[in-house]
Each structure stands twice: as C-alpha cells, then as structure tokens.
C-alpha cells in the first residue's frame, strides 16, 4: 500500500508557516499572538501523528510506504537562513520536532518514508541539506541509498509520480537536478508574497476566485506602498527577468506578444499606466483578436468573460479613473455573467492540467523523451504506464480514462472561505492518494480525506473543538 501526500508547506514556526490548524480570521485582524499560533501548530502535529497511525491501522498485511510528494517544507518562506543552508532544517526542527518524531515512529512500526523534492523545497537537493534532514530521520529514502529523489517510479504498479511544478511555466526548472536554479515563481514568493503575508497572512490561503478578486479590488492598492514598489521594481530590473531592449540597449515598453510584461507591470506600480495610450491600444488589439475568432454571442463563456473584463478596463482607462472606480466598474460589467470570470480562468487552468496529465499518460516512449527534453517531465515513466500522480496544484482530484488514472494529492494547507464581507473561515481537508492492490490483484487508486475518517473524529475533544 502506498500513500501520497504533498504540499504541507512546513516552515519555521513564524507567521509565514502554513503548517497550522485552520481557525477563524478576519481580513482586518489577521495577526495572532505567538502563543495562539504555536498552539495551532501543536494541534497540527497531533493531527499528522494521528494520520500516520491511521495509515498503519488500515494496511491489510502489506507493506506501507508514505511518499512525501514535494513542498513538504517551505524553504522559500524561511528568511532567517541563506538559500541552500542546512540551517533551514535546524529552524524547521526547532518548531516542528513532533513532526519528525512521528515520521521516525512510523518507520519503527514497519512503515517506509520516501521524500520527493518539489519547488518550494528544492534546497533539499543540496547534499548538505538532505544530510541534515537524514540526521533527524535516519531511514528516510532508505531504498534510494539515503539520497534525495526528484520523481518516484513503481514498475509493479505501472505508476509514475513527481511533484508537478514542471507543468507550471512559472515554477518549471530548466534543469530540475540543479539545486541552485531559482524559477520566477520562487522569486515571486521570496520577494513579493512573503512581504504581503507578513501584513496580511490570509493572502497565501485564498483560493476561491471571488475572494481573490474582492481582496485585490478592495485591498491591493494599499499594498502598493513606496517600499514595495521599490522592491518589485528592483526585481523586475534584475537579471533574473529578461527585459525587451531597444537599439540603444534601453528597456522599452513593448506591448507586443513577444514580451514586455515586466515593463508594463513596472509602469502600473509607478502609477503611469492610466495615462498610457498604447496600453488602451493593446486592449483594443486583444479585443480584435478575440472577436476575430468568433462572433461575440457565440463565444464560449471564458472568452466572453475576458471580453467583459477588457471592455470594463478600456472604459476606465479612457476615463483615467482611480483604482476604486475601476474596481466598481469591472464588477458592474461582469455582474451579468453566469460564472465569475476569474473562476472561469481558474477552471480553464484546471482543465489544462488534466489535459496535460492525460497527454502524458497516453504518450509514446518517443513523446515521453520529448517531454523530458523540453522539461515537462523530470524522469521517464515505466514502460507499462497506467497511473500518474502529481501534487503542486493544491487541488485534490482523480480522473480515469479506461485503465489510465491521474490523481492529485491536494494540500494540507488551510483554505480561506468567506463567511461575511470582512471575515473568513479557514478550512483543511487533509487529502491523500491511496494506491494498493485489491484481493484480485487489481491496482486501485483512491482519493481520500483524513478528516472524514473515524480516526480524525477520535482526536481529543479539546483538539476537535478547534477543528470545527
């Protein structure tokens, strides 16, 4: 029996640490006292320990292996140590020693634990970091000679798994085996998200499209203070982001398809974009492209949503409106859509991920070689390839096409759900994927939820009251 979990995002016990139990928060009073925060983390340790005990209790005489499928540690949000330093492991252990004790107890009782590297814990690929981790959990990755791995392959089960960031252009590594490479998504976390989260911890827990749009329209202008503008401008001008240049090697505002997003964003942050005629022109061009592909009433809902959004923006820009008016006008123009446009875009992204997984599952060896070459896959699946498992996207799922199965582990990270315009309830589902052979020798894949188990309900009354 094999259990896959991913994206726990364990930090060093500060405000950026996502490994805590969900409790009610408001957008205006998000900060908790350190004692409250540490208490929430302690409860989460007990949940994780109960989870591993539950896994041992449901095995049917078979061996049991837990695959930690990447982003178990959120090294990108640990700011008190240098990139790639083993000190990050020390900081994690200082705040989360019960987590490591649970892993060691699970191994002592006959379980195996395999650690697959993701993008937020890419630093585990540094030998010094993984050795430090091995000093805490000595039998980690034992069947891989104690070395870190970037993908998991099981020929007996016709199964291949990796973290999943290679299908994400913002978080894809050109060379997954190079621990020094930092993709743009990681830079955004380090230099932008972390700064947001210190003041507004909920920003890292929003998932619903309406909540994100609401927060952006109502609160985002307040984020753009002078200090933040300087930070993001420096990031945009850094060598890590290619900038379009003119013949004199100066950064130019290029609104063409070929690039220029960084320059556009820089102008937005400097408050100049509302007076930029060429920006209105690019909106017109986008509208023209969309309209050329079909008459407006016949457009699919996603394209219709984009058109509404662009029309609203164009109107506001022509009026040189302030940000508050822009937000109100956009919401007004979108109000007659059956489905929220941001939600549509999220659904389109989800559909893309499923389609990607399906294409990988049905790919030939030659196509797999090309996928590896262009960086969409890290390793080669087994010759008989029926099960493809990813994490990374924080959304649990299970899709089947005949004898082919794609599953995503989801995340244990709390999700902020609105209960009023100014209040959110944080929820966790503790998802995992179970793969085992049934009594007839057939391989079964299940999307499971620890929260729904009897073991979870049997957690102490004191603790359970905080989980409601």
Q: What's phi and psi for 69, nearest 5 deg?
A: -90, 50
Higher pLDDT, 421 or 59: 59
Where residue 357 falls (left for φ over 0; alpha for ψ -120 to 50; beta otherwise) is: alpha
**Distance in angstroms (rounded) separating the CA atoms of residues 359 and 191:** 34
* Residue 367, C-beta contacts closer than 8 angstroms, at least 6 positions apart: none
**Distance in angstroms (rounded) separating the CA atoms of residues 145 and 142:** 5
Helices within 152-300 (DSSP H only): 184-188, 194-199, 209-223, 226-237, 261-269, 277-292
3-class state of residue 22 by DSSP: coil
Higher pLDDT, 25 or 269: 25
Whether residue 93 has pLDDT greater than 70: yes
**Distance in angstroms (rounded) separating the CA atoms of residues 116 and 255:** 40
Confidence at residue 213, expressed as pLDDT on a 0 to 100 scale: 45
Q: In terms of pTM, does the model score above 0.85?
A: no
Q: What is the pLDDT of residues 44-85, one digit of tens each?
A: 899 999 999 999 999 888 899 999 999 999 999 999 899 999
Compute the radius of gyration of the chain from its Cα atoms.
Answer: 24
Q: What is the pLDDT of residues 371-413, one digit of tens each?
A: 998 888 999 999 999 999 999 988 899 999 999 999 999 999 8
Sign of CA dihedral 29, 48, 466, 206: positive
Question: Residue length, the chain?
Answer: 468
Question: How do the domains of the chain map onto residue ranges?
Answer: 2-182+349-465, 276-339
Confidence at residue 83, expressed as pLDDT on a 0 to 100 scale: 93
Helices within 293-440 (DSSP H only): 301-318, 323-334, 341-361, 365-373
Whether residue 232 has pLDDT greater than 50: no
* Contact yes or no for 157/2 (Cβ under 8 A): yes
Identify any residues that bridge with 448 across adjacent strands, giving them in sequence order: 432
Q: Fold for domain 2-182+349-465? A: Purple Acid Phosphatase; chain A, domain 2 (3.60.21)
Higher pLDDT, 140 or 336: 140
Confidence at residue 31, expressed as pLDDT on a 0 to 100 scale: 56
* Contact yes or no for 157/407 (Cβ under 8 A): no
């Amino acid at each position: 029996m094999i259990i896959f979990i991913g994206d726990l995002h364990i930090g060093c016990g500060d405000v950026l640490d996502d490994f805590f139990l969900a409790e009610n928060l408001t957008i205006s009073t998000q900060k908790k006292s350190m004692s409250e925060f540490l208490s929430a983390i302690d409860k989460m340790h007990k949940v994780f320990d109960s989870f591993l005990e539950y896994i041992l209790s449901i095995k049917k005489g078979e061996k049991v292996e837990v695959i930690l499928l990447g982003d178990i540690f959120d090294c990108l949000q640990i700011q008190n140590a240098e990139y790639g330093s083993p000190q990050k492991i020390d900081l994690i252990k200082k705040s989360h020693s019960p987590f490591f004790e649970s892993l060691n107890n699970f191994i002592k009782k006959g379980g195996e634990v395999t650690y697959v590297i993701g993008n937020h814990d890419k630093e585990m690929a540094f030998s010094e970091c993984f050795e430090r981790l091995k000093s805490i959990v000595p039998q980690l990755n034992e069947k891989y000679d104690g070395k870190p791995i970037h993908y998991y392959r099981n020929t007996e089960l016709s199964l291949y798994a990796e973290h999943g960031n290679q299908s994400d252009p913002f978080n894809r590594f050109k060379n997954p085996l190079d621990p020094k490479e930092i993709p743009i998504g990681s830079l955004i976390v380090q230099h932008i998200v972390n700064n947001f989260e210190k003041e507004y911890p909920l920003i890292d827990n929003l998932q619903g499209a309406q909540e994100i749009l609401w927060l952006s329209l109502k609160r985002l202008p307040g984020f753009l203070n002078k200090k933040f503008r300087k930070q993001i401008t420096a990031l945009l001008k850094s060598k890590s982001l290619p900038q379009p240049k003119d013949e004199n090697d100066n950064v130019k505002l290029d609104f063409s398809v070929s690039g220029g997003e960084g320059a556009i964003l820089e102008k937005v942050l400097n408050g100049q974009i509302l007076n930029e005629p060429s920006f209105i022109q690019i909106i017109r061009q986008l509208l023209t492209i969309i309209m050329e592909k079909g008459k407006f009433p016949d457009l699919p809902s996603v394209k219709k949503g984009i058109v509404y959004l662009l029309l609203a923006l164009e109107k506001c820009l022509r009026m040189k409106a302030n940000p508050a008016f822009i937000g109100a006008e956009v919401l007004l123009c979108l109000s007659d859509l059956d489905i929220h446009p941001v939600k549509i875009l999220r659904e389109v992204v989800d559909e893309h991920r499923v389609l990607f997984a399906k294409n990988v599952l049905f790919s030939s060896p030659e196509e797999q070689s090309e996928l590896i070459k262009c960086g969409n896959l890290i390793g080669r699946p087994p010759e008989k390839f029926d099960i493809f498992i990813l994490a990374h996207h924080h959304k649990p799922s299970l899709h089947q096409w005949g004898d082919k199965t794609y599953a995503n582990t989801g995340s244990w990270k709390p999700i902020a759900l609105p209960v009023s315009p100014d209040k959110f309830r944080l929820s966790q589902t503790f998802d995992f994927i179970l793969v085992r052979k049934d009594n007839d020798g057939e391989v079964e894949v299940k999307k499971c939820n620890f929260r729904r188990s009897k073991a979870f309900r049997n957690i102490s009354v004191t603790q359970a009251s905080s989980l409601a």
